[in-house]
Structure 1
């Protein structure tokens, strides 16, 4: 099954299946996928899939490129795959018009491996995790030594918010298995950075983030662009939401974004969703380490400033962190193409949905190297400190296939969020008045 030992030896009596039959199985509870020419029935396995239900987004499709992008330990994965393999594609159905771009991208991936771009620097990640502890300890020291006057209080809350933002980038590294060869060790550090340091659920993050990576900006597959949203984005979503009589006033969304987007995403929405997810899905390890975070925070800061003062301090920290996260995360995707699933190869799929922010020492630190969003989406398991190295190879391949590679100054990227929200709101307004003849 592909290069580098990524396959299972074919059996002579294995069933031959045509694409038309595969396409008939692309519903929830009845899903088949294709990987390297072999067909797998993921209908029941989807619920047990360690990466979440992301696997269902490829039902009826060739998931080979996504499979290679997400996994690091192929020998372990194949043990599970062997139990759900039901056949292989008919020889006449294996080739497609997209084979050339897929072949070139796989060669690019192999070249990146040979150049050592998938090899992590452990000292680098020790520093990134160390800064989380540093920010928290310095923030605590300022409150303990200088008291809770407005200046030390403000300085302390900003330091803790910086630590929380950077913890978000660090847990992202471990969640993508991009630090250690050992999957369990990555998971252990994911619990530490996400659950213990941030008070959020690793399983909740995996559930949402893997879907986003698998089908970025695909309506109703990427959780960030679902139709039941407070905002409409792109060209198509506004038209569909306009058919509904009762909706948000999306023509004002570029304004109310500043009130309910950056300031409230973490303190309200994520706060509720991550705790609910861990409890409802009985992720007790997540619940245990999350409880340690809240217990630790409550005991330390309530003793210094009282319960009410601790609550104000906590939500101020979350509001600052929320602004940080929203502006960084949305700048890479919201201004890009947002549409239904076109079943594109991995390269154009990711490039149409992602853009970069220019690299610099500050930008790299501030964004956790997610300013190299294109490279990260193409190679999600590549250590972030190597993403810039693969950029010339990606640019060269994009040029060959006439695919735009967008790289923006950081302020331009932030402004484009508001600009794109305004544009989508105008589309909704026009179509809403047409549908309802107002």
Structure 2
């Protein structure tokens, strides 16, 4: 296969040019090539190329099959309308992935530009031939329609009122313990208030992570630090890195960190069979749907998320996050320390996280664990998200309890859309899914809760069949 690249200086964000490493080399995190002894790509220069960084045409001869030209460290070369793009989150249409995660189209073009490595020769078959071009175009037309309807415009008042809700709950908890003392009935009651505050803080920081609610992004960044690190005691950088991977590669092994439960739970259909055939039995997986209630629900927040956040902050040296998280504990020691002491305040903090954990677990897992999990299938953006995500029926309580993440399909298709608009666009998404034969799953909340356990039980059965087969 032949690609043509304009020889421009890489420093200005343009295409790969003079002074850049061969396309076959590996890269370190700082962008420097790693010597690995791999065969380098042969390069041919035509007579139009000039020396000294002048513009010209560079022709690279690379293997005909893209499958021969993939390295896990580099990502995958993918196609976008005849162009070849290098991405770690490759396979879904590159434009749709970037467009989904960025509000500003100029930002999308800016990020895609240095990743463009060439164009397909006219005689080359497209690797995206299995995708429905009509479905892709219909989805892009839907997005253009929603943009024209201002569905991506956030209402600051909506989010300000939610912020006020958090402040009221935090203040009320302190006033109650100040007035009534720190007895067990009071402690349990204020723990419930603080749990609600923590839950709503999660949704607000989630909004701030996806949206540009404020005119200047630095204020968005500051407010997310306030809500996630100061109000919840978790690293914002850790959450953003993990969460955005989940959005780009939902339910895809091994790219979605949210379906990596280590040795504790086996999810989907592929992982249980793999473990079973390899005779792996770290835990009695046939009972995983039962110990989910004893381990998964109560320990996700106070143990797993907390330890993971702290580990990443320390190893990656996120000093800003460490300072913000420290302010979370300092604030609690100042406000509740006089009533409970240092040890009692720590117990109060983790009691709140313990109470919040089932809430967070159910809301985050009910829309994905029961849905399709697979390896990379190179699907279009619409199909990839609809097949791996489901909705929960709308009601005033469901909207509040889930932070409008009961509209998980719309949220995954349009992560930068403010949540107060999900219910408005849901009928249009449902209609598009019906047109192209995609199942748009929408279920009652209690059924969604139960489906988590039923999915774990199904995966356990697959593991048993593979493990005990002769």
- TM-score normalised to the size of structure 1? 0.89
**1:344-363 equivalences in 2 (<5 Å):** 344-363=379-398
* Partner in structure 1 of residue 424 of structure 2: 389
C-alpha contact (below 8 Å) 1:118/1:383 kept by paired residues: yes
Q: In terms of mean alpha carbon deviation, does 366-375 or 75-84 score higher?
A: 75-84
* Partner in structure 2 of residue 136 of structure 1: 170
Aligned positions, number: 415
* Partner in structure 2 of residue 57 of structure 1: 89
1:73 maps onto 2:101 in alignment: no
* Partner in structure 1 of residue 3 of structure 2: none
**1:220-239 equivalences in 2 (<5 Å):** 220-226=254-260, 228-239=262-273
* Deviation at residue 313 of structure 1 after TM alignment: 1.1
> Greater relative contact order: 1 or 2 (C-alpha under 8 angstroms, separation 6 or more)?
1
RMSD (Å), alpha carbons: 2.4
* Deviation at residue 81 of structure 1 after TM alignment: 4.0
| Distance (Å, rounded) in 2 between the aligned partners of 1:134 and 1:15 | 64
Aligned CA distance change for structure 1 residues 362 and 15 (closer, same or farther; 3 Å): farther
* Deviation at residue 80 of structure 1 after TM alignment: 4.6
1:198 maps onto 2:243 in alignment: no
* Deviation at residue 20 of structure 1 after TM alignment: 4.6
* Partner in structure 1 of residue 8 of structure 2: none
* Deviation at residue 286 of structure 1 after TM alignment: 1.2
C-alpha contact (below 8 Å) 1:119/1:383 kept by paired residues: yes
* Partner in structure 2 of residue 48 of structure 1: none
* Deviation at residue 140 of structure 1 after TM alignment: 1.2
* Partner in structure 2 of residue 289 of structure 1: 324
Deviations 1:215-252 (A, max 9, x none): 11112111122373411122222101112333221110
Aligned with 1:259 (options 277, 294, 314): 294
| Distance (Å, rounded) in 1 between the aligned partners of 2:60 and 2:144 | 30
* Partner in structure 2 of residue 301 of structure 1: 336
* Deviation at residue 374 of structure 1 after TM alignment: 0.4
* Partner in structure 2 of residue 39 of structure 1: 84
* Deviation at residue 165 of structure 1 after TM alignment: 0.9
| Distance (Å, rounded) in 1 between the aligned partners of 2:167 and 2:329 | 16
Aligned with 1:30 (options 71, 74, 84): 74
Structure 2 residue ranges without an equivalent (≥5):
1-13, 16-54
* Deviation at residue 150 of structure 1 after TM alignment: 2.0
C-alpha contact (below 8 Å) 1:196/1:289 kept by paired residues: yes
Deviations 1:280-319 (A, max 9, x none): 1122211111111111112322221122221221111001
* Deviation at residue 12 of structure 1 after TM alignment: 8.8
Structure 1 residue ranges without an equivalent (≥5):
1-7, 42-54
Aligned CA distance change for structure 1 residues 405 and 246 (closer, same or farther; 3 Å): same
**1:3-14 equivalences in 2 (<5 Å):** 13=57
* Deviation at residue 89 of structure 1 after TM alignment: 2.8
Q: For 1:262, what is the secondary structure of its paired residue? A: helix
Q: In terms of mean alpha carbon deviation, does 17-26 or 65-74 score higher?
A: 17-26
| Distance (Å, rounded) in 1 between the aligned partners of 2:391 and 2:92 | 28
* Partner in structure 2 of residue 425 of structure 1: 460
